[in-house]
Chains A and B, each alone.
Chain A
Amino acid sequence: MINDWTAVAAAGTDPRRLARVVARAVADRRGLESAWRTARRAGRSGSEAIGDVLAAPVLVDAGADDVAKSWAAAGVRVALAGDPSMPTRLERHDVVPPWLAVRGDLGTQRRSVAIVGSRSATPYGTGMAAWLAEAAGDAGVRVVSGGAVGIDAAGHQASLERPGGTTVVLGCGHGVAYPRPHATRGGLFDRVLTSGGAVVSELLPTDPARPHRVRSRNRLIAALADAVVVVEGGERSGALITASWAADLGIPVLGVPGDVRATGSAAPHHLLRDGAGVCAGPADLLATVGQGLDPSATTNGDRGADVTGLPDWLRVPLVEAWPRPLPTATLVDGSGRGAGAVLAAVTRAQVGGLVTRDADGIRLCRRP
């Protein structure tokens, strides 16, 4: 149905051409991928490479129409390589996919930063990611990440409702609910879209998340950003793939120093050893992105949290410990108050959004 194709084609994209490319992908994925690679290696531009892919005769059949229906249902707009809606960064960095399916607004005119890291994050890691993302968002910098749980989610979440907005690059198709807690109705992805961000995928809607696809989308994360920050990750973290793509593409890479004992510090420390920049706070990040700390950013982005509302006995040890959490037992012993009184005060601070509490103890959400 050509109507569906018209509905999903992005501005400046020919629906018929799009339909034929997708039909080829549905009929012969390998053939399309190898034709695409060959054309790109031969130095053909995105638009020319699409022409090469379509050199073989293809029939737009029901299978391809299903793809269009699925995209249309999700409100996806699809751009082909070389089309005006395809982000120019991707073309420039030579990682452009045949098509890019986008929900929401990519905000390509903004500076942007990729905040990436492992799924099993420590509170320190998520705290750092959130801090950096908040500051970036306030400074009008787009936060790009992979939409996974852990560091990715902390970054996306913190940049919601901020001027910069956020972009999620999926490792699966738009029709696949992965990762489940984020893809459900009202989950993180919905909130990203309602707050003006974007969710993008280079895959067909039904493509499940597979390791090679998830690794492969990391190149898009790198290419969509002006700087890549690796917050936390293990020895073989996917964040390192993003970082190495960034290095190949000439995009600055930063690492957040972590606890030397924590396994999650392996990836950033590895990068720092290899010459990545140190990211010890939003200032480092924004300086690298080139946004600088404009006046509004200094007041919003890097302003410490207002913790004057906390009682002294709670505030002083928490500020001292930041960004490390303070074991609740230490707080109880140190304050000389009963466990009940301490917990009541912590709850008030938690409801006020000042502190978080987890297995490690209590921690200020933001730099004091």
Chain B
Amino acid sequence: MTGTQDAPPRLRDLRVVVSDGRILDEATTAPAAEPRHSTTAPVDGDGAPGPSTSRRPAAPVARAGAVALTGLEGQLVHAEAATASGLPQIRIVGLPDAAVREASDRVRLGCQRSGFSLPECKVVVNLAPGGIRKAGPGFDLPVALAVLGAAGHLRPDDLVGVVAVGEVGLDGRLRATAGTLPAAAVARDHGAGLFLVPVEAAPEAALVDGLEVVPVATVREAVAVLSGATERPARPRPPEPVQRHVEDLADVRGQALARRGIEIAAAGGHHVLMMGPPGCGKSMLARRLPGVLPGLTTAEALEVAAVRSIVGAVATDLDLRPPFRSPHHATSTAGLIGGGSGVARPGELSRAHRGVLFLDEVLETPRSTLDALREPLERGEVVLVRSQSRVTYPARVQLVAAANPCPCGHAGASRRPCRCRPDQVARYRGRLSGPLLDRIDLHLELEPVSEDVLVGPSDGEASADVAARVRRARDTAATRWAAADVPADRRLNRDVDAARLRHTVSATAQRRLARAVQTLGWSARTFDRCLRVARTIADLAAADVAGPDHVDEAIAYRLDTGPRPT
């Protein structure tokens, strides 16, 4: 399963073993690497080119750089190609997956249709080091370049420092593949001189600084550029940073309390649970949250784009709005946190990195699936271990969960009678308790919107106004926590540890909170969560120390989630 016999295992060593056992330096053999095969290869019908090729001096081993991605991280690998005796075919070794193995046919036809003749013997391509898995059609282009090198269409010099990613079509055209952006980052980190990508994916690759990105449309163009026959195309422009359109908060009718809740959630980064009858505007509010959150920095947007790239979305622009993902409640655990055999792929959770993960009908989601979210939410990343790999995807998300108050959705509200049995309601609500829901700071109980409000004029504030306040509150919090030596990625009120938090809430307020927690029969755990929210409310009010009023408001954002005795 490892490298072929004619390839020396040392990567950086550009030496070739010729058939008579002498070791030649590649540089010395390079000028001799003319397309001899087209003239010397036997074309008669005896079908046994082996003996004839073995007698002439072998062509050098050609190498092209490629990137083997494992999640967002990757490793530079080399596609080494050399001719060997055997039937004309391209054989790929070095732990290829099915897609990489199929590259042999795509590359063969792609090269031939591009006008390059291939040796009438076996060409072995080794993806070295042979111990790591290679997956996906992105290896087509480096394999093709190595094969063309082995066939003498490219000089070994042409391929020095070249890393390529892309899928080869049967006509020699190149297609973009998933993961171009992280691959480009890997290439840059390993000091790649040139990074060849299909034209389509070039802007995405250009997002990576300090990398010479060469967009090429076909195999022929790639060869022409590398051999110096044509001028190297201009460096592609990276995608423009844009702000995706997000619906405005002004469209939401009524729900003054929930708006306020959304504002607090945005300011403190708090996870939110919204509970209310169907049609009261839960998803409407959740969809508008990205418009209230501060925009992403370019670095953050790149993280988001990298995950998108892994799942195969070619970036045409760099979206500075926090992403918004709303997986269906029947989504599997693997679909949510990521999974799959071999190398696990990112799930909805990682696709919502730096943004909002909206779980509608959260009580319909199986408990096991919700519990799987717990640790990633805490750590800000998700680690997926499979037999072949261990990958880490980012997962700093703000969770917004929505639920109906009972199976039929109308419990508690007298406007439409609830048809559920009390024990059904108790069981349904019982699903709310649990480790994941313990991490949700803010609970919003939404009331049904009255008809008057529905037909009346829009009465809400625009997202931009709210976003400005959120921005200010976040800046206040970030400055304070920075002064308290909190690490940069834990400076949301959601993440700061409770001990630090208590220093910023007045003693009166804490006493009042303790009394309320006792009177209302809540668990002690609620105490810290209320403090967190109170801190954010104080930040929105530009108060240094959170006082009793802030705490009182924070208490109102707690639902009684346990079984209700009355």
Which A residues are within 8 Å of any B CB, using their own CB?
Answer: 119-124, 126, 149-150, 153-154, 157, 179-182, 187-188, 259, 261-264, 327-329, 332-333, 338-348, 350-351, 353, 357-361
A142 to B566, CA, bound (A): 19
Residues of chain A within 8 A of B445, CB atoms compared: 357-359
The reply to whether the CB of B524 lies closer than 8 angstroms to some CB of chain A is no
Looking at the complex, which one of B256, B259, B413, B422 makes contact with A360 (CB distance below 8 Å)? B413
**Which B residues have a C-beta under 8 Å from some C-beta of A?**
254-257, 259-260, 276-277, 405, 411-414, 417-418, 420-423, 425-426, 445, 447, 449-450, 453, 515-516, 519-520, 537, 549-550, 552-553, 555-557, 563-566
Q: Does A332 contact B418, Cβ atoms closer than 8 Å?
A: no
Can you add 15 more A-B contacts, CB < 8 Å, to A259-B414, A344-B553, A360-B447? A119-B422, A149-B422, A149-B566, A157-B565, A181-B565, A263-B417, A328-B447, A340-B260, A340-B553, A343-B553, A345-B552, A357-B445, A357-B556, A359-B405, A360-B414
Q: What are 9 of the A-B contact pairs (CB < 8 Å)? A: A259-B414, A329-B256, A329-B450, A329-B453, A332-B256, A343-B257, A344-B556, A350-B516, A351-B519
Per the bound structure, the CA–CA distance linking A349 and B468 in Å amounts to 32
Collect the chain A residues with CB atoms within 8 Å of residue B417's CB: 262-264
Asked whether, in the complex, the Cβ of B411 is within 8 Å of the Cβ of A359, the reply is yes
**Are the C-beta atoms of A327 and B450 separated by less than 8 Å?**
yes
In the complex with contacts A124-B414, A351-B519, A359-B413, A333-B256 CB distance below 8 A:
yes
Complex formed: what's the CA distance from A121 to B422 in Å?
A: 9
B255 to chain A: which residues have CB within 8 Å? Answer: 329
Is the beta-carbon distance between B553 and A188 smaller than 8 angstroms?
no
Are B257 and A328 closer than 8 Å at their CB atoms?
Answer: yes
Main secondary structure of the interface of B (DSSP, over half): loop
Contact, CB under 8 Å: B450 / A157: no
- Residues of A contacting B565 with CB < 8 Å? 149, 153, 157, 181-182, 187-188
B547: min CB distance to chain A, Å:
10
Q: Separation in Å of the B501 CB from the closest CB of chain A?
A: 19
Q: Nearest Cβ in chain A — how far from B256, in angstroms?
A: 4
Minimum C-beta distance from A158 to chain B (A): 9
Q: How far is the CB of B561 from the nearest CB of chain A, in Å?
A: 13
Decide if A339 touches B414 in the complex (CB within 8 Å). Answer: no
Q: Is the CB of B563 within 8 A of A332?
A: no
Contacts of A359 in B (CB 8 A): 276-277, 405, 411-413, 445, 447
Q: Give Cα A264–Cα B411 distance, bound, in whole angstroms.
A: 13
Query: CA of A353 to CA of B537 in the docked complex: distance in angstroms?
Result: 24
Known: A149-B566, A154-B566, A327-B447. A347 touches B420 (CB 8 A): no
Q: Hey, which chain A residues are within 8 Å of B553, CB to CB?
A: 340-341, 343-344, 347
User: 9 tightest CB-CB pairs across the interface, nearest first?
Assistant: A359-B412, A343-B556, A344-B552, A339-B260, A119-B422, A344-B553, A347-B552, A263-B417, A181-B563
How many angstroms from the CA of A332 to the CA of B453 in the assembled complex?
Answer: 13
On whether the beta carbons of A358 and B566 are closer than 8 Å, the reply is: no
Residue of A179, A180, A333, A359 most packed against chain B (CB within 10 A): A359
Whole-angstrom distance between the alpha carbons of A187 and B566 in the complex? 11
- The A/B interface has a contact count, at CB < 8 Å, of 111
Q: In the complex the two chains form, is B418's CB within 8 Å of A120's CB?
A: yes
Closest-CB distance, A335 to chain B (whole angstroms): 11
**Are A347 and B516 closer than 8 Å at their CB atoms?**
yes
Q: Chain B residues with Cβ under 8 A from A180's Cβ?
A: 563
CB distance from A264 to the nearest CB of B (A): 8
Q: Are A350 and B520 in contact (CB under 8 A)?
A: yes
Q: B515: nearest residue on chain A (CB-CB)?
A: A351
**In the complex, what residues of B have CB within 8 A of residue A262's CB?**
414, 417
Smallest CB separation, B443 vs chain A (Å) = 12
Closest to B412 in A: A359
Cβ-defined contact, B256 with A157, below 8 A: no
Cα distance, A348 to B551, chains bound together (Å): 10
Chain A residues with CB below 8 A from B425, complex form? 120
Closest to B537 in A: A340
CA distance A357 to B445 in the complex (A): 10
Please measure, in the bound complex, the distance between the C-alpha atom of A314 and the C-alpha atom of B257, giving whole angstroms: 16
Which residues of chain A are near B453, meaning CB under 8 Å? 329
Residue of B nearest to A324 (CB): B414
Assembly CA distance A138 to B139 (angstroms): 84
A339 touches B256 (CB 8 A): yes
Q: Is the CB of B412 within 8 A of A360?
A: yes
Closest chain-B Cβ to A120's Cβ sits at a distance in Å of 5
Known: A329-B257, A340-B553, A343-B556. Contact between A122 and B414, CB under 8 A?
Answer: yes
A181 touches B564 (CB 8 A): yes
The interface residues of chain A lying within 8 Å CB-to-CB of B537 are 340
Q: Are B413 and A329 in contact (CB under 8 A)?
A: no
Min distance, Cβ A313 to any Cβ of chain B, angstroms: 15
Q: A343 touching B276 by the CB < 8 A rule?
A: no
A150 with B566: in contact, given A353-B519, A359-B411, A359-B447 (CB under 8 Å)? yes
Residues of B within 8 A of A340 (CB): 260, 537, 553
B276, B422, B519 interface centre (most CB from chain A within 10 Å):
B422
Nearest Cβ on chain A to B189's Cβ, whole angstroms: 48
Q: Give B276 Cβ to nearest chain A Cβ, in Å.
A: 7
Shortest Cβ gap from B446 to chain A (Å): 9
Residue of B with least CB distance to A155: B566
B277 surroundings in chain A (CB, below 8 A): 359
Taking CB atoms, residues of chain B closer than 8 Å to A179 are 423
Given the interface pairs A328-B447, A343-B553, A343-B556, the reply to whether A351 lies near B516 with Cβ below 8 Å is yes
- CB-defined contacts of A124 to chain B, threshold 8 Å: 414
Shortest CB-to-CB span from A327 to chain B, Å, is 5
Alpha-carbon gap, A262 to B419, bound state (A): 12
Complex CA gap A153/B563 in Å reads 13
Q: Provide the bound-state CA to CA distance between A3 and B564, in Å.
A: 40
Q: How many whole Å from B559's CB to the nearest CB in chain A?
A: 10
Smallest CB separation, B451 vs chain A (Å): 13
- Expressed in whole angstroms, the minimum distance between the Cβ of B198 and any Cβ of chain A is 52
CB contacts (< 8 Å) of A122 on chain B: these are 414
Q: Which residue of A lies closest to B453 (CB)?
A: A329
**A259–B415 CA distance with the chains assembled, in angstroms:** 11
Instruction: Please judge, given known A-B contacts A187-B565, A347-B556, whether A120 and B260 are in contact too, CB under 8 Å.
Output: no
Q: How far is the CB of B453 from chain A (nearest CB, A)?
A: 8
In the complex, chain B residues whose CB is within 8 Å of the CB of A333: 256
A345 to B555, CA, bound (A): 11
What is the distance, in angstroms, from B563's C-beta to the closest C-beta of chain A? 4
Contacts of A345 in B (CB 8 A): 552
Q: Are B257 and A332 in contact (CB under 8 A)?
A: yes
A181 CA to B423 CA, complexed, in Å? 10
User: Residue of A at shortest CB range from B563?
Assistant: A181
Cα separation A346 to B257 with both chains bound (whole Å): 12
Contacts of B520 in A (CB 8 A): 350-351
List the B side residues contacting A153 at CB < 8 Å: 565-566
Asked if residues A339 and B411 are in contact (CB atoms below 8 Å), the reply is no
Q: In the complex the two chains form, what is the Cα distance from A74 to B388 in whole Å?
A: 58
The docked-state distance in angstroms from the alpha carbon of A66 to that of B394 is 60
